[in-house]
Chains A and B, each alone.
Chain A
Amino acid sequence: MTSPTKPLIPLAVLPKNELGLTVRDYEGAMSTLCAGCGHDSVTAAITQMFFELSTPPHLIAKLSGIGCSSKTPTYFVRGAHGFNSAHGRMATIATGANAANRELTYIGISGDGDSLSIGIGHLSHLMRRNVNMVYVLENNGVYGLTKGQFSASADIGSRSKRGVPNVIAPIDPIMLGLSMGATFLARSFSGDKEQLIPLLKAAVAHKGLALIDVISPCVTFNDHEGSTKSYRFMREHEVKEIETDFVPWQQEISMPHHKDDAREIIMHDGSAMRFRSVPDGYDPRDRQSVEEYIRERHERGEIATGLLYVNESSSDVHEMNNTPEVALSKIPYSRLCPGSAALSKLQEDFR
């Protein structure tokens, strides 16, 4: 079965971005996920985000592993180059791709099975290396394609569709990221595009690995009573205290400077993240206070969303390795091969 394609005839005159493209130009094939799947909302947010940022589609590389979430890169930006890899291995492919060509915008889509079980080692090292990319973890606490097994993010006591409670402690990707040295950690909810789009934009602007853990309910296997990743549970327990606005750098001049610099963070490209209603004592640049805050909220049964942690001052994998500004793949061969004279000379050491 092939993915159905969407009709390309616009119903109304659509607004254009700086490249003269409409939001339709950032769409992909028709989703084959279940109707109401949280992932489709994330896809819509990503589509809108790239449209609003006016990113040239061919300069986007979209990657994924295996699972429901990993199917979604076909559903956005059809003009982007894509790589649907193997279960849990997207981080490794993205690392190599980024190594070869740092000029593209990388977005990886993964799920909780892909990222927190089979691929947790790779995700951990992706964060350590600080590979410059957006990593969207569409988190539903369940294995959908294999019909409803608990994933490593399922909460203790959360019930499967058959009513069986989960008894193993969950892995929180944000807490994992804090211990792995991640430089951008955010959480959101698939049902909240208003929050998700600015977070995605900030993730693109961030220089380094930007992880967004998006709670994205599975309508088929994990949206029932007793689930802690259902639409209802999220709507009742989400705490959106750390709300953020994304200010692209072009508008920076017209914005008045914020007095409390802890609540405004300038990204490396000059754009800014503005924090609204940040709780007292919370500093998204201070790992310790972030950890305490998330734990405290978690103990109260609440899920804190927003940009939880950010560090704009650390180096990405290319800076750590002093690679050139241009893509390694674009360096002409003549500059890579030392030639016959050098070969003769270096063999003097082998006599």
Chain B
Amino acid sequence: MTTTISHDTANHDAKNTDTGLRVNDFALKLANVNGTGSASANSLLMQAIFRMGIPVSGKNLFPSNIQGLPTWYEIRANKSGYTSRALNYDLMVAMNSQTYADDIKEVSSGGYVLYDSSWPLDPSMLRDDVTFLGIPLAKVCLENFTSSRERVLMKNIAYAGALVALLDIDLNVIAELLTESYSRNEKLLASNQKALRLGYEFAAENFECPLDIRVAPMDATAHSILIDGNTASALGCLYAGATVAGWYPITPATALMDNFTALCAKYRREPVDGAVPGAPDSIQNNYLILQAEDEIAAIGMVLGASWNGARAFTSTSGPGISLMGELLGLAYYTEIPAVIFDVQRTGPSTGMPTRTQQADILLCAYASHGDTKHILLFPANPHECFEFAVTSFDIAERFQTPVFMLSDLDIGMNDWVVPELTWDDNFVPDRGRVLDDKDLSEIAEFFRYTNEDADFVTPRTVPGSDSKGAYFIRGSGHDKFGKYTEVPADYQEVVDRLKKKHAASAHSVPAPIEIRREGAKVGIITLGSCDLAVREAIDDLADLGIAADYLRVRGFPFVEDVRRFVEEHESCFVVEQNRDGQLRSLIAIETEVDIEKMHPVLQYGGFPLSAVQVVSAITETLKDRS
């Protein structure tokens, strides 16, 4: 029996519907038309709330389109730090007439709809239980701006201005943010300030400001940053010492390499010794980023560079992993390190490229034909993207094998409030077992797949080292000496060691996070970006009298704790964002725990998970059972 959350319906019976004053505890949804410049206004609001010290999240629910299709942005501010998707919206900014009807329906009873009253609202849209806040945004912008582009763009800043008044956002913080954003364009800064003031003043004059939902300064984000996972992953690659990258553009992973490129341009350029300053060749780039002809080439470049001793990586999404399949098997079988970032999106096929999912788990775990098994890391937020990115290179080189960093669109492309990133200047990368010329001079003979250590890893050499260490990498059948073979026992000896090596890596991947509660009989296993929603759900379940333990897997292969967790709980749920319960299957296959002991809770429509969905799925299942 599976609990499937079929679509994103708001549960109006859930919390957040009580009326009265709610400070730092509300959710907004902003409905816009793609390509009209709403993104900067929306993130401005979110960033302002963050700077006021309030835990907040911003989720961009956008279409695979450049201009014209509906797009939404959700902001949830919550003093207790619950910032997964809310689904209950206290205020809707309805800026897209195509979606008015649905957007207005989504507002919680007692909530607000802010709309552009330049045109009358169809009376059929009206609801008695919500307050409509009409602002003639188009009209105001038509009167106050001359260029047609500004008249469109500034509507967004004008509604942001109104929200500043309505929600009591600190005007100084907003002013500061605008100044920072447009420091190089005075004209644009002036227009933005003007639009902001127009919206603010209209709201202040016409509505009772602030509303009963509002913000008040807190001190909860002092040691936090606002960052997306793709930027954080790119930073991790920079700090890990990656020098070569091969990639092919794909949503939602493109920004990872764009960020790595920008970071390298800033931190990896050095003056050339003895060159004339300012001359074209006076600066050298200590990196090489290759935009490949396809993802096959991208992973091929990574393997070539890793074979040659550089730290190399690629960033992609599901379709790219499918294309890389053959070479991933080559890397696994010939034992070449590689780091692959899979920023997961909704599949199969092209699927929904701008929507999130966790549906590449099995694809990556067993990528390629034949018996293959890979190491996976599951970051839950941008902070872990940074840390795990660094770790992934160490693990890849330590175990001489591909390592997959499985983030997703929600982590990769949305801004998250996470603790500041820290760095230990004493960090020394683990380059694994590589024999240099001195090592080679001390051994009688070198054979590539002999002399295994406790983790079943055998030392390698890199091209350019002494001929004694020269060998011929081959994806064809080979024995432990690296020689071509078709002899069953010699072939099996090598692939059996690879299986043991994979198992041995379980203790090197990030350990699962477990949070136990007194007397809990329910256990919830999850991974990646489901983290916040599940932890919030566990608190909500506790309020309902259901104590639940939490386990978040952060890497594959699994340590023994995962199996034990399943066995220790009367009711065990696996919460993940795919149709087939891939994490649940992987746990069952790999730990041999009875799959029936784990109840799947699946949400895979393409939007980030909400605690509301987890709570209702679990309570309904427990009700059915009792």
List A residues at the B interface (Cβ < 8 Å): 1-3, 57-59, 61, 73-74, 78-86, 89, 91-101, 103-104, 121-122, 124-125, 129, 317-318, 321-324, 327-329, 331, 333, 335-340, 342-344, 346-347, 350-351
Contact = CB atoms under 8 A, between A and B. Distances in A.
B472 to A, nearest CB: 4
B304 interface: yes
B308 A101 contact: yes
Given A2-B483, A93-B303, A97-B463, A121 B244 contact: no
B425 interface: yes
Contact of B466 (A58, A104, A331, A335): A58
B288 A86 contact: no
A81 B471 contact: yes
24 contacts: A1-B484, A2-B485, A58-B470, A73-B472, A74-B472, A84-B476, A85-B300, A86-B475, A91-B297, A92-B300, A95-B300, A96-B306, A97-B305, A97-B307, A99-B244, A99-B301, A122-B293, A125-B292, A322-B283, A323-B288, A331-B286, A333-B429, A336-B268, A347-B420
Contacts of A347: 225, 227, 420-421
Interface of B: 50-51, 225-227, 235, 238-239, 241, 243-244, 246, 267-268, 270, 272, 281, 283-290, 292-294, 296-310, 312, 326-327, 330, 420-425, 427-429, 461-467, 469-476, 483-486
B463 A101 contact: yes
A318 B290 CA distance: 11
The list of the 6 closest CB pairs from A to B, nearest first, reads A92-B300, A96-B304, A79-B467, A96-B301, A100-B310, A97-B304
Contacts of B246: 92, 95-96
Given A81-B464, A94-B304, A101 B309 contact: yes
Contacts of A95: 246, 290, 297, 300-301, 304
Nearest to B47: A351
Given A95-B297, A96-B308, A99-B288, 7 more contacts: A3-B484, A84-B475, A89-B297, A91-B300, A95-B301, A99-B290, A125-B292
Contact of B287 (A78, A124, A328, A350): A328
A83 B470 contact: no
Contacts of B289: 321
Contacts of A79: 467, 470
Contacts of A335: 270, 286
A322 B284 contact: yes
Given A57-B470, A96-B246, A329-B308, A103 B303 contact: no
A63 to B, nearest CB: 8
B293 A125 contact: yes
B330 A86 contact: yes
A329 B424 CA distance: 23
- Residue in A81, A337, A346 whose Cβ sees the most chain B Cβ within 10 Å: A81
B292 A100 contact: no
B227 A350 contact: yes
A99 B305 contact: yes
B305 A336 contact: no
A92 to B, nearest CB: 3
A345 to B, nearest CB: 11
Contacts of B302: 96
Contact of A122 (B50, B285, B297): B297
B241 A85 contact: no
B234 to A, nearest CB: 11
Given A81-B470, A82-B471, A328-B287, A101 B226 contact: no
Contacts of A318: 288
A318 to B, nearest CB: 7
B480 to A, nearest CB: 13
A313 to B, nearest CB: 16
Contact of A96 (B226, B312, B424): B312
A58 B464 contact: yes
Contacts of A337: 238-239, 241, 427
Contacts of A342: 267
B483 A329 contact: no
Given A86-B327, A328-B243, A336-B286, A101 B423 contact: no
A337 B310 CA distance: 14
A59 B464 CA distance: 5
A85 B298 CA distance: 14
A129 B246 CA distance: 13
Given A92-B304, A96-B246, A350-B225, A343 B290 contact: no
Contacts of B327: 85-86, 89, 92
Contacts of A327: 308, 464
A343 B383 CA distance: 13
Contacts of B472: 73-74, 82-84
A340 B423 CA distance: 5
A92 B241 contact: no
A100 B226 contact: no
Contact of A329 (B309, B326, B330): B309
Contacts of A322: 281, 283-285
Nearest to B302: A96
A83 B331 CA distance: 11
B258 to A, nearest CB: 15
Given A97-B463, A121-B294, A336 B243 contact: yes
B475 A85 contact: yes
A305 B330 CA distance: 36
Nearest to B461: A81
A321 B473 contact: no
A339 B235 CA distance: 11
Contact of B474 (A61, A84, A343): A84
A259 to B, nearest CB: 34
A121 B300 CA distance: 13
Nearest to A95: B301
A300 to B, nearest CB: 35
A121 B308 CA distance: 23
Given A97-B307, A98-B304, A121-B294, A85 B243 contact: no
A317 B290 CA distance: 9
Nearest to B224: A351
B439 to A, nearest CB: 14
Given A86-B326, A100-B304, A337-B239, A328 B288 contact: yes
Contacts of B464: 58-59, 61, 81, 101, 103-104, 327
B309 A100 contact: yes
Contact of B226 (A89, A121, A331, A351): A351
Contacts of B50: 351
Contacts of A101: 308-310, 463-464
A241 B285 CA distance: 44
- Residue in A96, A321, A322, A324 whose Cβ sees the most chain B Cβ within 10 Å: A96
Contacts of B300: 85, 89, 91-93, 95-96, 122
B12 to A, nearest CB: 36
B473 A83 contact: yes
A92 B301 contact: yes
A125 B246 CA distance: 13
A343 B465 contact: no
A32 B28 CA distance: 71
A231 to B, nearest CB: 29
B241 A329 contact: no
Given A89-B296, A122-B297, A125-B293, A340 B425 contact: yes
A99 B241 contact: no
Contacts of B288: 99, 317-318, 321, 323, 328
